Amino acid sequence: MPLTTRTIAGLALIAATVTACAPGAAPTEAPDAGKAVSSALPTEPVTLTLSHFEEGGQGKAIEQLAAKYQQLHPNITIKPTYTAFADYGKNIKLQMSSESAPDIAQAGQAQTMQGPLVQAGLLRPLDEYAKLYGWSERFKPGLLDQARFSKDGKTFGTGELYGIALGGNLVGIYYNRDKLAKLGITTPFKDLAAFQDALAKAKAAGETPIQLGNLEAWPGNHVLSDLIAQYEPLENGLNWVYGRKGATFDSPGVQQATKTLAEWAKSGYIDSSANGTSDSDGVGKFIKGKGVFMVSGSWNRSRIDENMDGKAGFTAMPPVKAGDPVRATGATTSPFSISAKTKYPDVAANFIDFMTRPENAATLFQGGYLPVAERDAGKPKAGSAQEGLVEAWQQVLADDGLALYLDWATPSMGDTLFPAVQQLIAGKTTPDKLISTVQENWADERGNG
């Protein structure tokens, strides 16, 4: 699955706005595929189910928009259903294959979810709706291309459109302002060595340098992926995520990043109870002052700001060499797709369009979605974590530094990578073993030795 020129250019275009083959049944045509699409809504009662894995403020934003839509259309009920990410990805194909498949489903990009679903014929192409609602004018090509697939579900970044994202997300460093002041630590960090010095200083003062809830195994991967974004040339990492022939996880940059994470864990820089603490509880501990830093994503920003009232900040993971471009784990948020089984595709498309309209940008922004379209989403509160997050987002995009997500690489990459990272943090595996296990998965599923 090559990284297409169009996809590379598309990612760059996101910056200008503010700016990954699964087994399965042969693709089938969606019901009523030849029927003309319409923005007209039915007058009879309609209930749509929406399946998602958005946590915190982002999940709250979806609930708010569903309620607002129902106020405008009293005969239409939108029923959002949340499932934790760790379980969602494992069950989404089975769920979408069932007779009770949700009408709208959040489907992670590339081979995490969307590719296998497209290959099985379980998602409806949205190109006609994109024309109807003007999505190509509302969003730049780079945003839409992250939800495009060839009809066979094998080629990502080109082909038909299968989803619309509500915003962007980014992984970086949250910090406790009061603790940094007491420790004499200032941000932003000029380079990775400065951040590691801060971790050592926090540890020496009896603090927990990095708070982490990694019971579900995926949160720890974000620490590793952000380190890889610093040590590994960006193009190499993107080639691996997109499955370009000859790409490898066994590279000097990945080796150094993995060794660094192992050293952080061994040095006590990461909360010793991380693997026994849920992601949600880890965030809660950080909010209560148990941890100087927390490497996590924008999806937790709303909860942190609401509970820390100006005592939290956010900064991007610093580069290895001061002055180098800012690189970070991040992308558009997982897009919302329409089931090929739904009886109401026009209504489903209308609600997806509604969520992304300019008048709802503020709701998404306050919920933690980072803006990816030219619209007035409001300004972050001065001194908030959101302020630092938006600054970091804009800088990463300006530097064309989005590293995407490692688990996009193959349908089962999360099941392989996440537990390996968990074991690395626990000191039960080595960097070399983690790297060889991950690359073996990639080579087996990609057919690229």
Helix axes 5-15, 385-398, angle to 10 degrees: 140
Tell me the C-alpha distance between 134 and 39, whole Å.
Answer: 12
Q: Residues 343-393: pLDDT tens digits?
A: 999 999 999 999 999 999 999 998 889 988 765 567 899 999 999 999 999
Collapsed DSSP state (helix, strand, coil) of residue 347: helix
- In the chain, what are the domains? 46-162+334-367 (3.40.190.10), 169-331+383-446 (3.40.190.10)
Q: How far from each other are the two terminal CA atoms of the chain, in whole angstroms?
A: 13
State the angle between helix axes of 56-72 and 301-308 in degrees (0 to 180), rounded to the nearest 10.
100
pLDDT of 15 reads: 36
Q: Which helix or strand (DSSP H or E) is residue 266 part of?
A: helix 252-266
Q: What's the pLDDT score for residue 32? A: 53
CA distances to 200, 211, 270, 423 from 206, in Å: 10, 13, 13, 25
DSSP alpha helices (H): ranges in 50-187? 56-72, 85-97, 114-119, 127-133, 135-138, 141-145, 177-183
Cα separation, 45 vs 104, in Å, equals 17
Structural contact between residues 390 and 298, judged by C-beta atoms closer than 8 angstroms: no
Number of C-beta neighbours around residue 8 at 10 A: 17
Q: Which helix (H) or strand (E) holds 260?
A: helix 252-266
248 three-state secondary structure = coil
The Cα–Cα gap between 435 and 449 comes to 15
Integer Cα distance of 227 and 223 in angstroms:
6
Kindly state the tokens that stand for 304: 């942190």
CA neighbor of 92 nearest in space, from 59, 127, 52: 52
Question: Structure pTM?
Answer: 0.81
Closest CA to 119 of 20, 2, 23: 23
What 3-state class would DSSP assign to 70?
Answer: helix
User: Which pLDDT score, from 0 to 100, does residue 374 have?
Assistant: 60
What are the tokens at 257? Answer: 């990043």
What is the β-pairing status of strands 46-52 and 76-82?
Answer: parallel
- What's the confidence (pLDDT) of residue 297? 95
Residues 270, 211: Cα–Cα separation, whole Å: 6
3-class state of residue 412 by DSSP: coil
Q: Which two tokens stand for residue 160?
A: 């038909």
Q: Which of 304, 330, 300 is nearest to 226 (CA)?
A: 330
Q: Mean pLDDT by 10-residue block, N- to C-terminus, for the chain (449 residues)?
A: 33 36 38 76 98 93 98 98 91 95 96 92 97 91 84 84 95 99 98 99 99 98 99 95 91 99 99 98 98 96 94 98 97 96 98 95 90 73 95 91 92 95 99 99 83
Sheet of strand 104-106: strand arrangement: 76-82, 46-52, 104-106, 336-338
Position 22 scores a pLDDT of: 32
Chain center to CA of 433: 26
Under 8 Å between Cβ of 246 and 181: no
pLDDT of residue 376: 59
